[in-house]
Structure 1
């Protein structure tokens, strides 16, 4: 179980910065079981640690997502907002999606609304296998902007595993960022 996450953990062991599994895999790590098939695996890192990331990915083919297109990334060029996605491909078919996160003064900042923050010291948890993963309430906030069927499934699977603090933070974040989101119905009661 969680073989892909454990492979990422092994690969990221030499990374000097903070990293954590994100997306649907983070939801599954929080629950403790694989609830669905995952097309890819996403890793969250911080924008201010790009040099360490460039070093880690030196022998990979790297692309950044810009306005729906992928363009080759020169590892020497800093990536600035609004760019936040990196696609890395390695010989032998390995691939990784890297999501660049913002932080300032000890707080994670939601790139789509920099007023939404979370303490860095509490923004990730660790699975039983020792894999760091992004808190599910933050993952769900990212998923709320362009919700697909798999995102609704992720919400329904993880909802019973969220504590009251997680539910309250997600509720307040959704009220601020996506005030008509259907998940609010479950969070308001």
Structure 2
């Protein structure tokens, strides 16, 4: 990677892969991964109902070296500081600071961004929410599989992340997936919201 590409603005063309495209890209990966974001909600619902500006894939921060090797010669950039307007190159062999949980990925500098990696935490065999470390779940129950074997983040987990700052599209996702959540999933989301975001608007519509 040339010095000219060390830093870039956090903007530019996006042409997100489809979930199937991500599955092909990550075939044979030696680390767990899950489709996240709005696509995860659509996979839970079983249909496409809105446009997406990007595609999120959740991986574990502790697997960062394996993740970087799998992406090989791809052009990867860290959003550091989180939420900042500048991306910093992530060359092979360099570690990712614990504060960083957002990685933009494209095949080459002249290609559009196609995948956004979200680095999350784990403690042994438990997933730990980066928003609130009290929110935990066994990694074995963090996600689900589509009928074609694509792993995606369980909707109640994804909704918890969306709940902190509800945008119009997040409300749409909640409304569309709510009828597909069983009593246990609704109770799990309600418990997490009551702990981390007491008084949240969604609580009134969840079965507890």
Question: Is the 2:75–2:106 Cα contact (8 Å) retained in structure 1?
Answer: yes
Aligned to 1:23: 37
SS of the aligned residue for 1:115 comes to: coil
What RMSD, in angstroms, separates the aligned Cα atoms of the two structures? 1.5
Aligned to 1:75: 92
- The CA distance in 2 between the partners of 1:187 and 1:93, in whole Å, is 39
Task: Name structure 1 gaps, 5 residues minimum.
Answer: none
Please tell me whether residue 90 in structure 1 is matched to residue 107 in structure 2: yes
- The CA distance in 2 between the partners of 1:180 and 1:63, in whole Å, is 37
SS of the aligned residue for 2:133 comes to: strand
Counterpart mapping for 1:123-134 below 5 A? 123-134=142-153
- The CA distance in 2 between the partners of 1:188 and 1:164, in whole Å, is 6
Question: Is the 1:86–1:97 Cα contact (8 Å) retained in structure 2?
Answer: yes
Aligned to 1:54: 68
- The CA distance in 2 between the partners of 1:85 and 1:105, in whole Å, is 22
Larger Rg: 2
Task: Looking at secondary structure, tell me which structure has more strand per residue.
Answer: 1
Question: Is the 2:183–2:207 Cα contact (8 Å) retained in structure 1?
Answer: no
Question: Is the 1:14–1:56 Cα contact (8 Å) retained in structure 2?
Answer: no
Please tell me whether residue 168 in structure 1 is matched to residue 182 in structure 2: no
Task: Provide the TM-score with structure 1 as the length reference.
Answer: 0.93
- The CA distance in 2 between the partners of 1:45 and 1:128, in whole Å, is 21
Instruction: Detail structure 1 runs of 4+ shifted over 6 Å in the superposition.
Output: none
| 1:147 CA drift (Å) | 1.3
Task: Provide the TM-score with structure 2 as the length reference.
Answer: 0.85
Counterpart mapping for 1:112-131 below 5 A? 112-131=131-150
Aligned to 2:24: 10
CA deviation vs aligned residue, 1:64-102 (integer Å, no higher than 9, x gap): 112313211233222232210100111343511000111
- The CA distance in 1 between the partners of 2:37 and 2:125, in whole Å, is 22
